[in-house]
Structure formats: structure tokens, C-alpha cells
Chains A and B, each alone.
Chain A
């Protein structure tokens, strides 16, 4: 035996790379599926490009005023032409209005949704749970125009009642002050309608997360003599917290982008209004719909810019929300 032959088994052979040459049909298949998979990227990219392309001129001429001023005026000169010099486009009032109604929706809708999710996950008998989950999922499929009409004809009345009550007893809080005695079609009522609209989303996400609460930890809490509430506080809430925050943000994103329902129930007034019970407000989406009908091509470009701002805003909120939701459960384990 020579020394070389004994050395060969001692040396670790390099790892072989396993390669296959995919068949033609598989390459076509993967190509088609991948191109389909990339469609979301393409569509989101195209939305960004087209809105930017159309809104660019407005953003350039208006500059930062587009975000900070609350003046919307498409001026027309003596010859009936558009007068870009004297036209002013700013969406500050609508941006603030968007946040105001969305935040009202979240403040009212989230406790109800999370409470409902807790009931469905930890308290409801099986039969009740099935029916309620179906009902709430069905509500998620209701058209927004239906929520708008329902808000206008039904919720408005009780909303006014609560608005009057709030303004009577809590007018020392700046938000609840009424500058004039008009409470119909206020941001408060729009917020109520949006709260109802986000309940299905936030409830189903919260339910999903609560239902993943590790059983062994729940049992440990019960075995230590904890009540159900004590178990929830020690085990379920810490486990679900970040996921619920994500769910809330998804609800916020939905509330920010809502058009028709807000348009129906809100008195859209082009001024910054922090008095949520007062009959004036707006949001970017419903403003676009309101102005679109009689807008000149020049003004439509400004509306495109407003749409771009709304798109980016909801994209940021939703992306953050999804990041938070998808991280739940990976930590804390």
C-alpha cells in the first residue's frame, strides 16, 4: 500500500452540487407562474408611476403647499382658459380630516373588535361561535355604498343623540366643542360608520392571533388557579399584543382609504376642523370623488396628486401593519 492511497479516504471530498436541467415544460411553467407572481409588483409600480406622472405637474407648481395648505381653487382666466398661476391646490384639511375620521373609527372600533375576538376565541360555545364568525365575515363583504346608506339613514339618528350628549357634558374637552349647533354629518358620525366597517377586519385578524395562543401556557395559567381573565392577562395578551397592533393598523389603513361611505355621511367642507362633533370634515378619498365630477383636465391632475398621496399613505400604514402581523408568534416563543 502506498502512502497516497491511504491519504485519499482521510481527505473530505468537496460537496457535490446537485444540479438538474429542468425540462422545457417545467421552465415554461416556472416562467409563467413567476410572471404571474410578479404581477403585484408590476401593478403597484404602475399605479405609482401613472399617478406620479399625472400628478407631477401639480406637485411641482404647488410644492410643499400641496400638503400644508387648505386651499383648493382651479382658477379660470378671462378667456375661459385655465390659469395655473392663480390656481391653488392644497390638501392639508383633507389629510387632517382623513386622520381624524380614521382615528375615531379605530378608537371606537378596536375595543369592540378585540373584545369580540376574545369572546369568540375564549368564551363562545361552539355553535354560537360558528354563527357569529360567519355573520362577521359576511359583514366584511358588504358593499361600502350599503354602509354609507345605512349610516345616512339609520346611524345618523343615534349618532346625533350621542353627539349632543357628548357636547353637553364634555364640551370642556376641545375635540367635543361645538362652534355652532350643527351636529349632523359630522366627522364623529363618519368615524362611527368607519368603525362599523373595520370591525370585521380587526375582529378576524385578532381572532386569528388569539386562537394561536399556545395551549400549554394557557393550561399552566389555569393550573395555577388563575381565572379565565387572569389567564388572558398572563398568557394571551402578551402573546397577541403585537399582532393586534398590526390588525389595528390594517383597520386604520382601510378607514383611511374609504370613499363612498364617508362621502355619503360626511358634510365635506374644505377647512381644517378639529371639532369632531361639528358638521364639517372630509377625507382625501371622498374629496377626490366630490371634485372629480366637474373637474377640468387640469384639476384632475391635481386630484391624481391627491390620489398619489393617499396611495403612499395607505401603502405605508398597510406595510407596517403586515410586517407587525407577520412577526407575531415568532417572538415570545
Chain B
């Protein structure tokens, strides 16, 4: 009865993993569903890829149900169909992403030229052949808009997060609530607000800083909430260690907590930037859409990538539409780079350099 020593250890196995027979069965059901849906399309007036997808979906689920029912009964059949449903759901959820990325590349890459990054549009119109003019002004404009928005919103966002995690005063709950409410403010409302608060009473004209202010409003909740999540991950004993060493709370936060959370806070900043870099509605109200390079956010119309895309799209000729897609491609590349950077930084463990 007792264990016998020196028996060679058998190799580990996973009997619950799908066996080749299971896989063959799944493939068989898939094949059957394809054949059935082709047959349905052939016999009935339904046609096209989408109709095929729909018929296939129904056919697959029904065949799957019947097969599982025959093998293991109703509970297993329902389980199997539900698996089919959620798998379909994830497929549909991911489809637009692929479609969008492919579309942007296919339609946009014709519009890519080196002059995009060296020239602006001051002597060209959107309807000119695609090789002429560029979006240097728009890249500069977007950079300036986002940079200024970042300077405004990052300190406010991080202070908010520090209030929620470190100071934890009387208003913690209400402020947490308000920050969440703020993240739902429609971008057009942020634009209208700056228009009402600054453009009407003071400047009476478009300029860059107004756009930055509107973007900052949209960025603060993202920065605050992401930072809060990061600061929550800082272990409590690190804070206590800081205070127990006789440091003030201020020194503990500045010298222990914030440095430990540094990469997370940078992630929060980047996510905020990615959130607003392509924001269009407030830009259209507030900054103007000059085709000339403008380095001054405080005066003059300031072109930007979303604005360029918008104008090019609105012009409506084949050349301008290609320009719009090229502009979107550049904007998307920027967003993807920012997002990836945030991911890489965010995946690092909190508390490590």
C-alpha cells in the first residue's frame, strides 16, 4: 500500500486538454456548417459575404448543439452553444479593429510622401495632387496643443490622484465621484465651455491655447484615474517606512511614493495624451485650421492633425480624401506608438526602476 521508492516519474500530462479527436470533431462541425451555409446561399436568394456569415453562424450553432446533445445531453449542448456565442462576440468585437487598421493603411498609404513631414499647406489646397504640400504644420500644431494640454492637466491630474490616495480628506468620496463624472463630459461640451469662458469674453478669436485648455479638461480624468490606480498599488509599508523615519508626509510622498510610482505616472500621462491627440470637436470650435506653420499657441490660427483630416475630408475630392486618410494614418501611428509605450511602461512592476 505504501509508496514504492525509485519508481521512475511518468511524464506530466493534461488529460483535460482537447485531444486530436476533439479537434477533428470541431473541424468537422465547422466544415459541415460551411457546406450547409453554402448550400443555403445557393438555394435561397440570400447572397454576399455578410449573409454567408449570418447563415454560417446559425448553422454552426445548430450543428454544434445537435452533436453535443447527442453525445452528452442538454446541459452540455447548451454549454457548447454558449461557448460558440461568446466566441462569436469576441470575433465581432475584434473585427472592427482589424477592419479599421487595414482600411487606414490601404486608403492612406498612397498619400504618404516625404513632403508630408517637410512642407505645410500655405501655398497648396487640399484638392491639389497628393504629392504637393504636407502636414508639417499640422504635426507641429498637434504637438503644441497636446504638449500644452499635458503641462496643464498632468499636475492637476496627479494632484487629484495624490489627494485621493495620500491625503484622503473629507472630500475623497465626492471627488472620486466627480472625477468619474468628468470623464463622461462630451468633448463638444468642453469646447463650448472654453468658447464661452475665454473666447467670447476675452480673445474673441481662435488660437492654440484655447484648444489646449479644452483638451486638458478631457485629459485630467484619464490622468487622475490612471495615476490613482498606480498609487493604490504602492505598498502601505513603504509609506509608513517614510513617515516612521521621521519624514514629513510631504517628504514621504515626494521622496518615496512618487518615485516608486514613477513609471506608472508616466503611463498615466501617455494614456492621457493618447486620449486627446485625435480629439476633433473642440479643436474645430477653438483653434482654427491654418495651413501655415505656427509656433505660437497664444495667438493665431493653429492647424492640427484632426483639423487637417477634417478639412481634407470635407473638401470631398479624391485627392483631398486621400490626404485625409494619410493624415489619419499619421495620427493613428502616433496614437499606437503612445499606446504601446504606455503598455510597455505599465507592465513594469510598480516600485521598480
Interface size class of B (residues with CB under 8 A): 35 or more
Q: Is B67 an interface residue (CB 8 A)?
A: no
Q: Is B328 an interface residue (CB 8 A)?
A: yes
**CB nearest neighbor in B for A108:** B92
- Identify which of A33, A158, A315 contacts B159 (C-beta below 8 A): A33
* Stretch of A4-12, A85-93, A170-178, A227-235 lying at the B interface: A227-235
Q: From B93, B158, B200, name the one whose CB has the most chain A CB atoms within 10 angstroms.
A: B93
The smallest C-beta distance from A291 to any residue of chain B, in angstroms, reads 11
Distance, CA A315 to CA B259, complexed state (A)? 35
- Identify which of A43, A50, A153 contacts B196 (C-beta below 8 A): A50
* Stretch of A20-28, A62-70, A75-83 lying at the B interface: A20-28
Residues in B neighbouring A26, C-beta threshold 8 A: 248-250
- Identify which of B166, B221, B271, B285 contacts A40 (C-beta below 8 A): B221
Q: Is B32 an interface residue (CB 8 A)?
A: no
- Cβ contact within 8 Å between B175 and A40: yes
**CB nearest neighbor in B for A138:** B339
Distance, CA A35 to CA B251, complexed state (A)? 19
Contact code string B159-195 (vs A, CB < 8 Å = 1, else 0): 1101110110101001101111111111111101101
Distance, CA A162 to CA B200, complexed state (A)? 45
* Stretch of B1-9, B76-84, B234-242, B295-303 lying at the A interface: B76-84
**CB nearest neighbor in B for A28:** B250
- Cβ contact within 8 Å between B181 and A288: no
- Identify which of B160, B281, B306, B338 contacts A37 (C-beta below 8 A): B160
**CB nearest neighbor in B for A226:** B75
The smallest C-beta distance from B69 to any residue of chain A, in angstroms, reads 13
Q: Is A182 an interface residue (CB 8 A)?
A: no
- Identify which of A137, A139, A230 contacts B96 (C-beta below 8 A): A139
- Identify which of A34, A50, A250 contacts B169 (C-beta below 8 A): A34
**CB nearest neighbor in B for A30:** B167
Q: Is B100 an interface residue (CB 8 A)?
A: yes
- How many A-B pairs have beta carbons closer than 8 Å: the answer is 274
- Cβ contact within 8 Å between B93 and A143: no
Using A47-B193, A229-B82, A257-B189 as known contacts, say yes or no to A318 and B180 having CB atoms under 8 A apart: yes
Interface size class of A (residues with CB under 8 A): 35 or more
- Cβ contact within 8 Å between A141 and B335: yes
- Cβ contact within 8 Å between B185 and A132: no
Contact code string A142-166 (vs B, CB < 8 Å = 1, else 0): 1111110110011000100110000
Q: Is B11 an interface residue (CB 8 A)?
A: no
Q: Is A39 an interface residue (CB 8 A)?
A: yes
Using A142-B100, A227-B78, A253-B184 as known contacts, say yes or no to A132 and B178 having CB atoms under 8 A apart: no
Distance, CA A137 to CA B196, complexed state (A)? 33
Q: Is A190 an interface residue (CB 8 A)?
A: no
Q: Is B350 an interface residue (CB 8 A)?
A: no
Q: Is A273 an interface residue (CB 8 A)?
A: no
Residues in A neighbouring B136, C-beta threshold 8 A: none
- Cβ contact within 8 Å between A292 and B285: yes
- Cβ contact within 8 Å between A43 and B220: yes
- Cβ contact within 8 Å between B250 and A143: no
Distance, CA A135 to CA B343, complexed state (A)? 11
Jot down 26 A-B pairs with beta carbons below 8 A, ordered by A: A33-B162, A33-B167, A34-B163, A36-B159, A37-B163, A40-B160, A40-B175, A46-B193, A47-B185, A123-B83, A124-B90, A134-B343, A135-B97, A142-B100, A145-B309, A149-B309, A149-B325, A150-B99, A229-B82, A230-B75, A230-B79, A253-B184, A260-B280, A288-B192, A307-B189, A310-B189
Using CB atoms and an 8 Å cutoff, list the residues of chain A in contact with chain B.
Answer: 22-23, 25-26, 28-30, 32-41, 43-44, 46-47, 50-51, 53-54, 111-116, 118-120, 123-124, 132, 134-139, 141-147, 149-150, 153-154, 158, 161-162, 196, 199, 203, 227-230, 232, 250, 253-254, 256-260, 264, 285, 288-289, 292, 297, 300, 303-304, 307, 310-311, 314-315, 317-319, 321-323
Q: Which 9 A-B pairs have the closest CB atoms?
A: A143-B278, A36-B159, A115-B89, A257-B186, A37-B163, A318-B184, A29-B250, A227-B79, A119-B86
